[in-house]
Structure 1
Amino acid sequence: MGNLSTGKIGEDMAAAYLEAAGYRIVERNYRCPLGEIDLIALEGDTLVFVEVKSRRSENYGLPQLAVGPGKQRRISKISLYYLQSRRLDPASVRFDVVAILLRPEKTSIELIKDAFELAYGR
């Protein structure tokens, strides 16, 4: 199974997991000129931008470790674009990461709420 299908399976699992946890998914695979955000959801009054990282093994480290400073800056810029283009001024914004390990013996899902703050810079 390739990376594309691993990502799609992970995003579907993450969306179902978040919905079961009380989130309401408002966008999937939001794309703009700056890039893509996997999921945008509401949890209460909080608008949550969610990065989903899925892996089939830990050979390249834990999935959540792939959301480093560069990825955080990119997601931050895309989130600002989203808010501006939709003319939204939510009460609260948060960045979550859903890390999924798709192992044959057991799949694990970890939700990291407030994984990082709005990141500026290069």
Structure 2
Amino acid sequence: MKLNHPTGQAAENRALVFLQEQGCRLIARNWHCPHGEIDLIVQQGNILIFVEVKYRKSSAFGGAAYSIVPSKLAKLQRSAEYYLQINQLNTMCRLDAVLLQGNESPQWIQNITG
């Protein structure tokens, strides 16, 4: 699916380039299911990574990290489980976030589910 908002698309592009520089390979982008959307699905080595990309102009009002609320996290978990189920995958995986704030370097938070 194509992003309609140029800022969101630019943030995802920036996050993808960053992840590729870290050795990740793109599997899917803007993957949709009945539970929600996963911004990026990448693979690094033998680990499948479901990535939520969050952009904020600044750290005001908590910044990008504070926009991943518990209800959003639950949707991401259900979406990732659904992806694994419909693709019949039994592989190591995790849920990560790439946070972008203004022109700062991307922040990669691994295993946001704890």
Q: Is this a same-fold pair by TM over 0.5?
A: yes
In 2, the alpha carbon distance for the partners of 1:116 and 1:76 equals 8
Of Structure 1 and Structure 2, the greater strand share is in: 1
What residue ranges of structure 1 are gaps of 5+ in the alignment? 118-122
Over alpha carbons, which structure has the higher Rg?
A: 1
Percent pairwise identity: 36
1:115 aligns with 2:79: no
Q: Which residue of 1 aligns with 2:98?
A: 98
1:71 aligned partner, one-letter code = K
For the residue of structure 2 that corresponds to 1:116, the secondary structure is coil
**Deviation at 1:64?**
1.5
In 2, the alpha carbon distance for the partners of 1:47 and 1:18 equals 13
1:99 aligned partner, one-letter code = L
Using the size of structure 2 for normalisation, the TM-score is 0.90
**Deviation at 1:101?**
1.0
**Deviation at 1:69?**
1.2
**Deviation at 1:107?**
3.1
Using the size of structure 1 for normalisation, the TM-score is 0.84
**Deviation at 1:59?**
2.8
- Alignment RMSD, CA only? 1.5
Q: Which ranges of 4 or more aligned residues in structure 1 deviate by more than 6 Å?
A: none
| Counterpart contact for 1:64–1:98, Cα < 8 Å | no
In 2, the alpha carbon distance for the partners of 1:31 and 1:60 equals 29
